[in-house]
């Protein structure tokens, strides 16, 4: 039986990935941070089928202990401080988690078992002020936030450990991916949740920042499969994962409000406090390498994704009544 350790299992991607690996017959371990109140909502429905190990990307020994106990064949490093605006408020902590945390996990692999395959959750935020469009595996990085800078470090240290120590380590450069399990502060979920609440009379307005920004948005359930595919190839290669279609935040708002039959312009207010110190204006990914070598393609399109999220938010509100 194959064993996998997932860091960030309580997050959006970790929760989908662990479920996917269980379906593939893996024995799944998840690294979780101790907390006075548990945040296991996303994995509650299968918690009895995974083994949770306490640890933190800040704590080298806890990572070595987690690997020694689980003896995984594969490690998926999804844990990070992942919210871009928070990275300006806590740049040093973001660097500790999102950058140095990667080195700590790679060091743990080097100590415990160099045969472990390693996946690093890299990000399209590394492209930042884009050098070319669309962005592929060959596009140079120009990160625009402390988060993006930290992810660029995580990417290069992954490449470096592959080349220095012959570890099967890959960096998946994933563009934005969303789902009904997305955190409420990210723009897609903020918008779909607000559209549902406004429809049900629970909220009067929605404050947003930059409506002009463009993102290449896909469905998290599709993207986690690409992570697994990358680790189950003969060669460790880095891949861009994206839909190849870009939409403005404004389009996202329009689709969400249309789903609940409301005119978004009556409810959306611009709040300058939500505009970032440095913005990433346009992201558009070229995932043709993943298509040709991994046979990977997204299944859910932009409109389908946003409608799925609005419907889930409406259903959750109605279930609570």
With contact defined as beta carbons under 8 Å apart, do 13 and 178 qualify? no
Residue with tokens 């500790």: 96
Q: How far is Cα 188 from Cα 111, in angstroms, rounded to an integer?
A: 40
Q: Which residues of 297-319 are buried (b: 16+ CB within 10 A; e: fewer)?
A: ebebebeebbbbbbebbbeeeee
Q: Which is nearer to ligand GDR, 163 or 281 (CB)?
A: 281
Contact letters (x/-) for ligand NDP, 98-127, by CB under 6 A?
-----------------------x-x----
Q: Return the active site residues.
A: 123, 125, 147
Q: For ligand GDR, how many residues bind (rule: CB under 6 A)? A: 21
Instruction: Assess 169 for contact with ligand GDR (CB under 6 A).
Output: no
Q: For ligand NDP, which residue of 11, 72, 95, 134 counts as binding (CB under 6 A)?
A: 11
Instruction: Specify the stretch interacting with ligand NDP by CB under 6 A; choose among 20-28, 108-116, 170-178, 244-252.
Output: 170-178
Tell me whether residue 251 is exposed, middle or buried, using C-beta atoms within 10 angstroms of its C-beta: 0 to 12, 13 to 18, 19 or more: middle
Say whether residue 30 binds ligand NDP (CB under 6 A): no
Residue among 137 and 279 whose Cβ is closer to ligand GDR: 279
The site string for ligand GDR over 262-291 (x = CB under 6 A, - otherwise) reads ------------x-x--xx-----------
Cα–Cα dist 153/137, whole Å: 16
Spatial separation of the C-alpha atoms in residues 260 and 274, rounded to whole Å: 25
Our finding on whether 82 is near ligand NDP (CB under 6 A) is: yes
In the block, tokens 């050098």 appear at 131
Asked if 91 is part of the footprint of ligand GDR (rule: CB under 6 A), the reply reads no
Min dist. Cβ of residue 126 to ligand GDR (A)? 8
Report residue 268: phi and psi, to 5°.
Answer: -85, 130
Q: Exposure of 73 by Cβ count < 10 A (0-12 exposed, 13-18 middle, 19+ buried)?
A: middle
The structure tokens listed for 286 are 């070229």
175-194 positions binding ligand NDP, by CB under 6 A = 176-177, 183
Contact with ligand NDP (CB under 6 A) among 21, 28, 53, 57: 57
Question: What is the binding site for ligand GDR (CB under 6 A)?
Answer: 82, 84, 123-125, 175-176, 185-187, 190, 208-210, 213, 215, 249, 274, 276, 279-280
């Amino acid at each position: 039986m194959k064993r996998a350790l997932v860091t960030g299992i309580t997050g959006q991607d970790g929760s989908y990935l662990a479920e996917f690996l269980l379906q593939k017959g893996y024995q799944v371990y998840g690294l979780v941070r101790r907390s006075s109140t548990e945040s296991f909502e996303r994995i509650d429905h299968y918690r009895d089928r995974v083994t949770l190990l306490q640890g933190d990307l800040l704590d080298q020994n806890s990572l070595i202990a987690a690997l020694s106990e689980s003896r995984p064949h594969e490690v998926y490093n999804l844990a990070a401080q992942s919210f871009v605006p928070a990275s300006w408020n806590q740049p040093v902590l973001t660097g500790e988690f999102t950058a140095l945390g990667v080195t700590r996990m790679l060091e743990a692999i080097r100590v415990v078992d160099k045969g472990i395959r390693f996946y690093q959750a890299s990000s399209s935020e590394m492209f930042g002020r884009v050098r070319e469009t669309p962005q592929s595996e060959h596009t140079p990085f120009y990160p625009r936030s402390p988060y993006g800078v930290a992810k660029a470090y995580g990417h290069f240290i992954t490449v470096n450990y592959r080349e220095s120590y012959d570890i099967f380590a890959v960096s998946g450069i994933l563009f934005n991916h969303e789902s009904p399990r997305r955190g409420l502060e990210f723009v897609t979920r903020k918008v779909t949740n607000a559209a549902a609440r406004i429809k049900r009379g629970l909220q009067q307005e929605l404050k947003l920042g930059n409506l002009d920004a463009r993102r290449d948005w896909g469905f998290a359930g599709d993207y986690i499969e690409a992570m697994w595919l990358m680790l189950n190839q003969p060669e460790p290669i880095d891949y861009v994962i994206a839909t190849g279609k870009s939409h403005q935040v404004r389009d996202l708002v329009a689709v969400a409000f249309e789903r609940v039959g409301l005119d978004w312009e009556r409810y959306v207010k611009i709040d300058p406090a939500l505009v970032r110190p440095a913005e990433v204006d346009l992201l558009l990914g070229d995932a043709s390498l993943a298509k040709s070598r991994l046979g990977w393609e997204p299944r859910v399109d932009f409109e389908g994704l946003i409608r799925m999220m609005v419907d889930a938010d409406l259903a959750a509100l109605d279930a609570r009544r």
